[in-house]
Structure 1
Amino acid sequence: MWHVTDNAQEPPGRQLSPAWRRVTRGEPRWASTAAVVAVVVIQLTLPARLTVPPQWLMPAVELALLLALIAANPHRIERGSAAYRATGLGLALVIGGANAYSAVRLVAGLIRGTETSAAGTLLLTGGAIWLTNAVIFALLYWELDRGGPAARAQGERDVPDFLFVQMQSPDLAPPHWEPAFFDYFYLSFTNSTAFSPTDVMPVTRWAKALMLAQSAVSLLTVVLVVARAVNILG
């Protein structure tokens, strides 16, 4: 495969390959950082009974891992390594573990009938856990698709794990389009609401497995929380 940078010139008569298949500038750091910070804020506002004790522990671990990632790539994600990749995946898994604990505690309380009797509070708590779940899977999709953001910037892999519309119809996309964190968050959010792929198709088996798991978790959370809230209001 022939790679060029954003500033390189294509030989006369040769069509420029799509940006997502070329060596390009790394993705800006701010979007994924903002998502993690938002998750930390949500975790700190959850009821203490739904969080891993002490309540500050998991947010502190997550912020420490985030700072390590920022130190390695402060502005744009361009330099990758095994340690950097492990740290990024570790961050997503730590957030996932903390949210899974919260979800299990919430579901157990709903089944036993010990969870809050205030419908508004229950919906807010369930919504916070659901939104955190969407961010977690967005991070996983973003970290795993074609080797992660650093590998995508280097154009290391041709075959995508997720097929975006712009990849199928490059003539309808800007010339330098390539997937960024927001695109993966959109994928995660729509999968959480529709419980199935929408306009982004999973290609590899691991991508299908992750989307299947996300749909199952989202469906379980929504059904139990909404059913309990309706029962309280009724």
Structure 2
Amino acid sequence: MSRRRADAPTLHPRHERRGEARLPAVIVTLIAIALYLALPQQLLIGPRFVLPALEVLLLVPLIAINPRRLTRQTRTFRVLSLTLVLLIAASNLAALGILVDELLNARAADGHALLVAALQVWLTSVIAFGLAYWELDRGGPVSRTQLPRAELPLADFRFSQDENDDAVGEVSDGASGTSDWIPTLPDYLYVSITNSTAFSPTDTMPLSTRAKLLMAVQSVSALLTSLLVIARAVSILH
């Protein structure tokens, strides 16, 4: 393991940190809700505002428990946060299924609207699975900052920082073992977007069975969106 450079800052142990900021997760969640609201009516499950209203109702107590930074972990908080992510992901997969059915049965005639809907479904998928990875890995965002590393649950993902301890100094100084680095929401969104574009892991590897299953579901849904939906929309435009 390389030695820390003399000018490198001394970091507090994770259990003394303030916790990850709440605002980024709120923003991407609201974007996912807005994308669902903007879908064509035939791709929605039930009335347009029912699921979004339920998701907002779940989001409000989550903000109340941790309004600025994610430092408090309660059973209620954990259940609500996982339920919210599940609702976003399930409703988006259902919209994708309806969209594919519309195409296979030649009921979709508006190519422009179809292209927009496909992009909305794809973007929502990136957000939903990014949030799922963020909520599950190593016990979730609260555990990752508030627990000592030795007490963290098993990791679902192996990031490149987790294996950079023996690299050159300017790289190893940012490694997990050297700097006590932890992934945050942007890291998981990056994993999600690369999985949706490459249809496979890139620089971050899934370790647990649930992580592999989630990435497989995301890859298949992204493949359907990219190859079937968009290809069909282009043919309609022509």
TM-score, L = length of structure 1 = 0.86
Which of these residues, 223, 227, 232, is aligned with residue 228 of structure 1? 232
Which residue in the other structure is 1:78 paired with?
Answer: 71
Match of 2:60 in 1: 67
1:96 is aligned to 2:100 = no
Q: 1:176: Cα distance to partner?
A: 5.9
* Matches of 1:18 and 1:32, distance apart in 2: 24
Residues 17 and 112 (structure 1), Cα distance of their counterparts in 2 relative to 1, 3 Å cut: farther
Match of 1:42 in 2: 35
Q: Are residues 158 and 109 of structure 1, via their aligned partners in 2, closer, same or farther at CA, if it must alter by over 3 Å? A: closer
1:191 aligns with 2:183: no
User: In structure 2, how many angstroms separate the alpha carbons of the residues matched to 1:165 and 1:158?
Assistant: 19
In the alignment, the residues of structure 2 paired with residue 66 and residue 131 of structure 1 have an alpha-carbon distance, to the nearest angstrom, of 20
Question: Matches of 1:194 and 1:66 in 2, distance apart?
Answer: 31
1:232–1:221 distance in 2 versus 1, CA, 3 Å: same
1:126 equivalenced with 2:118 (yes/no)? yes
Q: Displacement of 1:18 after TM fit?
A: 8.5
Structure 1: runs of 5 or more not aligned: 1-15
How far apart, in 1, do the equivalents of 2:30 and 2:237 lie? 33
Task: Report if the CA contact (8 A) 1:50-1:105 is conserved.
Answer: yes
Q: Which amino acid aligns with 2:114?
A: L
2:24 aligned partner:
31
1:141 to 126, 129, 133: 133
Q: 2: distance between equivalents of 1:17 and 1:212?
A: 39
1:181 is aligned to 2:182: no
Q: Any conservation in 1 of the 2:88–2:128 contact (CA below 8 Å)?
A: yes
Question: Do the aligned residues in 2 keep the contact of 1:195 with 1:218 (CA within 8 Å)?
Answer: yes
Post-superposition Cα deviations, 1:57-81, rounded to whole Å, max 9, x if no partner, equal: 0110011111110000000001101
Aligned positions, number: 217
Alpha-carbon distance in structure 2 between the residues aligned to 1:122 and 1:97: 20
Task: Report how far residue 172 of structure 1 moved.
Answer: 4.8
- Share of identical aligned residues, percent? 41
Give 2:233's aligned amino acid. Answer: A
Alignment check: 8 A CA contact 2:96 2:225 kept: yes
| 217, 221, 224: which one aligns with 2:221 | 217
- Mapped to 2, the partners of 1:59 and 1:216 lie a distance apart of 25
Residue-by-residue CA offset, 1:86-114 (whole Å, 9 max, x unaligned): 10000011112211221111111000010
User: Hey, what's the Cα distance between the residues in 1 that align with 2:11 and 2:136?
Assistant: 20
* Aligned-pair Cα RMSD in Å: 2.0
2:3 counterpart residue number: none
Distance (Å, rounded) in 1 between the aligned partners of 2:60 and 2:97: 29
Task: Give 3-state SS (helix, strand or coil) of 2:201's partner.
Answer: coil
Cα distance in 1 between the residues matched to 2:158 and 2:217: 19
Moved more, 182-191 or 166-175: 166-175
SS of match in other structure, 2:215: helix
Q: Is the 8 A contact 1:166 1:172 kept in 2?
A: no
Cα offset, 1:212, TM superposition: 1.1
Q: Which amino acid aligns with 1:153?
A: T
Any idea what the Cα deviations from partners look like across 1:111-133, whole Å, max 9, x if unmatched?
A: 00101x23322111101001101
TM-score (normalizing by structure 2) = 0.85
Give the 3-state SS of the residue equivalent to 1:178 in structure 2: coil
Query: Which contiguous aligned blocks of 4+ residues in structure 1 show a shift greater than 3 angstroms?
Result: 16-19, 174-177
State the distance in 2 between where 1:141 and 1:193 align.
17
Superimposed CA distance per residue, residues 178-199 of structure 1 (whole angstroms, 9 cap, x where no aligned partner): 2111110110010011000011
